[in-house]
Amino acid sequence: MNPRAIDTDERPFVLIWEVTQACGLACKHCRADAKPRRHPDELSTAEGKSLLDDARRFGEGQLVVLSGGDPLARDDTVDLVDYGTDVGLRMTLTPSGTASLTRERIEALDEAGLRRMALSIDGGSAAAHDEFRGEPGSFEQTVQAARAAREAGLPLQINTTVCAETVGELPAVRDLVGDLGAALWSVFFLVPVGRGRVLTPLDPDRAESVMEWLSGVADEAPFGVKTTEAPHYRRVAIQRPRGSDRSARADDDPGGPPDGIGRRTGITAGDGFAFVSHVGDVYPSGFLPEPAGNVRAESVVDVYRDSELFRSLRDPDALRGKCGACSYRHVCGGSRSRAFAYTGDPLEADPLCAYVPDGYDGPLPEQSFGGRETSSAD
Ligand code: SF4
């Protein structure tokens, strides 16, 4: 489904449910600050099924991602995939690369109706990936799981975090994504939340050159390329010389073909995207931890459609700073999660973007977080 073929005032393109924060890995960048054990107050199986029933009110084929933590740290994951599929949802999963991701479980998920599996690979070698993931053997387990998913006929997505510590790995990861037969490579530009605060974001100029490189990869690769928390990838694609590929996807679009540029094409926090935490809080994204409601008390449909926070995030004219003055705000709009992480205001300018709109003479955002300054945007 094309993310802009739906009315994102009415429904998200993707609803993520963080089914647990439990995980056997200790990744340096973990948004969820994952723990070894399940939280005693996480949504139960019955509450989860009730959430899936409610999500179905968004419409037939609503895309739901079960994430974590490691969603396989729960023992009801296959049941949840089966239930969601039965009520008319498109169910996908982002398991961690651990020993629990066996061939048998992958086949059971496939039989339950899983539509896609997304696995994280942050380095092109076992040494680089395992160092980042904090677990020896994780690379090998992830690659084996990717091959098992393909053999089961499951479409595969590879997620990669890009920051100063991993940017040198991107060419090797690109090659691996092709070797594994993935349908989509999703490149996540670090937002410093959770344990990700210990990592170093790219500076805006480096981010710009990485996006230009990714746009070139998208021209050649047999798989799709999209960015997450870097909607200026769309602006970069528009600004590339005529004759180059002018398609680009940003944020979570695991299903559809690339869009044309020239209208708003991707999805961003609160606009085509919603996140339900392990205890039921509803956020615009997992990287924008500002709750707008809780599914134990309210319908996720009502929170998405009607809450003040979600509605403001769907209004490009509500943006502030240079994003508010930018002629690309209707096709880009900047990462609302990153603006929130740095300023506490989700409508402020995205400090990762190197572009300065013509005639703009207001303040430029700085990447300053936790006492570490990386670069200003000019
Ligand atoms: S200034 Fe903001 S809206 Fe304009 S391209 Fe950069 S991030 Fe996007």
Out of 319, 350, 367, give the residue to mutate to test ligand 1, the one with the largest number of ligand atoms within 8 Å of its CB. 350
pLDDT greater at residue 254 or residue 179: 179
**Nearest-CA residue for atom 2 of ligand 1:** 323
Exposed/middle/buried for residue 87 (C-beta within 10 Å: 0-12, 13-18, 19+):
middle
- Domains of the chain with bracketed CATH: 7-311 (3.20.20.70), 319-375 (no CATH)
What is the percent of the chain with per-residue pLDDT over 70, rounded to a whole number? 86
The reported pTM is 0.89
**Tens digits of residue pLDDT in 303-340:** 999 999 999 999 999 999 999 999 999 989 999 999 99
CB 175 within 8 A of CB 220: no
pLDDT band at 366 (very low <50, low <70, confident <90, very high): confident
Which are the contacts of 100, defined by CB distance < 8 A and separation ≥ 6?
24, 70, 72, 73
The minimum-distance atom of ligand 1 relative to the CA of 334 is 7
Q: How far apart (Å, rounded) are the C-alpha atoms in residues 250 and 242?
A: 20
Which DSSP category does 184 fall into? E
How many whole angstroms separate alpha carbon 309 and alpha carbon 83?
A: 30
In this prediction, what percent of the chain has a pLDDT beyond 90? Answer: 71
Instruction: Say how many Å lie between the CA of residue 353 and the centre of ligand 1.
Output: 6
For residue 46, how many other CB atoms are within 10 A of its CB?
9
- Euclidean distance between CA atoms 124 and 329, whole angstroms: 35
* 126-147 tens-digit pLDDT: 999 998 887 889 999 999 999 9
355 pocket-lining for ligand 1 (C-beta < 6 Å): yes
With the most atoms of ligand 1 within 8 angstroms of its CB, the residue from 347, 352, 353, 367 to mutate is 353
Distance from residue 323's CA to the centre of ligand 1 (Å): 5
**Per-residue pLDDT tens for 141-189?**
999 999 999 999 999 999 999 999 999 999 999 999 999 999 999 999 9
343/338 Cα distance (integer angstroms): 8
Residue 159 token pair: 């997620």
Which ligand 1 atom is at minimum distance from the Cα of 357? 1
Task: Judge whether residue 195 has pLDDT over 70.
Answer: no
Residue type, 84: G
Q: Tokens at residue 250, please?
A: 């940003």
Structure tokens belonging to residue 95: 């398991």
Q: Identify which of 230, 160, 233, 133 has the alpha carbon closest to the alpha carbon of residue 191.
A: 230
Answer yes or no: is pLDDT of 245 > 60: no
Give the pLDDT score at 377: 26
* Tokens 């609803």 found at: 15
User: How high is the pLDDT of residue 367?
Assistant: 65
Instruction: Check residue 272 and give left, alpha or beta (phi > 0: left; psi -120 to 50: alpha).
Output: left
Asked if residues 70 and 48 have their Cβ atoms less than 8 Å apart, the reply is no
**Ligand 1 pocket check for 208: Cβ under 6 Å:** no
Instruction: Identify which of 83, 19, 3 has the alpha carbon closest to the alpha carbon of residue 248.
Output: 3
- Does residue 261 carry a pLDDT above 70? no
Q: How many residues does the chain have?
A: 378
- Is residue 67 within 8 A of residue 94, CB to CB? The reply is yes
- CA 159 – CA 146 distance, rounded (Å): 12
The reported pLDDT for the residue numbered 267 is 81
352 lines ligand 1 (CB under 6 A): no
Report yes or no: 269 and 288 within 8 Å, Cβ to Cβ: yes
Q: Is the pLDDT of residue 51 over 80?
A: yes
CA distances from 209 to 233, 236, 357, 363 (A): 10, 9, 18, 23
